[in-house]
Structure 1
């Protein structure tokens, strides 16, 4: 627990040092070219077609920056991400945040199980998900966009939070929320969020 706190503190200091990038401040074509390495996993225009890999399109700028800092600091781990984040600069992190935030987010597919979505909406309301992720679940600042995200990725993320294998933002809200969720609730809320238009 202490190691996780120290790692999180280092990440926070690093992110503060990063600052923010004014919209349009960098050459978009150069950023797009550099971000092309991301498309191999996260999909063209930041919309993932690969199981358990999230879409990045439309994610809030600061959220993407946070995640890259977490990966680079080692408080968030992924075998595919580690070699990439070791090579990126603070400027790259700022640019990637702005670039992916500027892309059109994915729209959820047609809902093949409206009853499950109804249960998921009840879970989202009961767990007060909108209090951080916004009423339309588009995220804000350092909080993730959930609407239209890949369903199996949302399930995985919630299980990772529940197991303490993933850190959240400035507070441990996600770990606290996910810890108390049943597998059925995780399945239902993930289905609901993934199918939001």
Structure 2
């Protein structure tokens, strides 16, 4: 209930604030210097289990920062950072990372596994939320080109009920029924798009 109330308040605040103050991409870029240590130069992560942020939808990024700041999404490295950012910082960071060119999946070293992942994506109807190209939309994450091991971790976290925020009910329900093999194949497929 608390997360739902926070979500409604955040959505209202964003709607009011966005009409009064447009996001400042340059200010977001300056603030994102702190993010580069983990999330990589230009939002392309080179660190295991740390997601790339480049090209993620603006609203998705803003929601995740709010969930971290509210404590409903937990991460030891993120907690001290989000405690120091303002709503304006959140708007600016969302706009900045959304403006960056996302990583295009690298060379696929296992096309058979990708084919299994493609079948899993179709069977689990991933495109119904994440879009046909898996680029995400509005408050739904971009999956295409994301770090493979991060996708595996995220799906296992949803499956175990350890990750909340956003479409947690849908993601928890989808991931709960996935086998480890299916998670591995799906992550491989998406990472190489």
Mark yes or no: TM-score above 0.5. yes
Match of 2:69 in 1: 72
Distance 1:190 1:139 in 2: 15
Residue 10 of structure 1, CA deviation: 2.2
1:90 paired residue among 84, 87, 92: 87
Aligned residues: 191
Moved over 2 A (4+): 5-16, 18-22, 24-31
Whether 2:38 is the aligned partner of 1:41: answer yes
Contact in 1 for aligned 2:23/2:91 (Cα 8 Å): no
Match of 2:172 in 1: 175
Distance 2:38 2:63 in 1: 19
Unaligned runs of 5+ in 1: none
- 1:19-63 Cα shifts (integer Å, max 9, x gaps): 3647x9444333211111000100000000000000000000000
Match of 1:7 in 2: 3
Distance 1:117 1:156 in 2: 18
Match of 1:195 in 2: 192
Match of 1:16 in 2: 12
1:46-125 equivalence runs, <5 A: 46-125=43-122
When normalised by structure 1's length, the TM-score is 0.92
Whether 2:148 is the aligned partner of 1:151: answer yes
Residue 7 of structure 1, CA deviation: 3.0
Match of 2:129 in 1: 132
Residue 167 of structure 1, CA deviation: 1.3
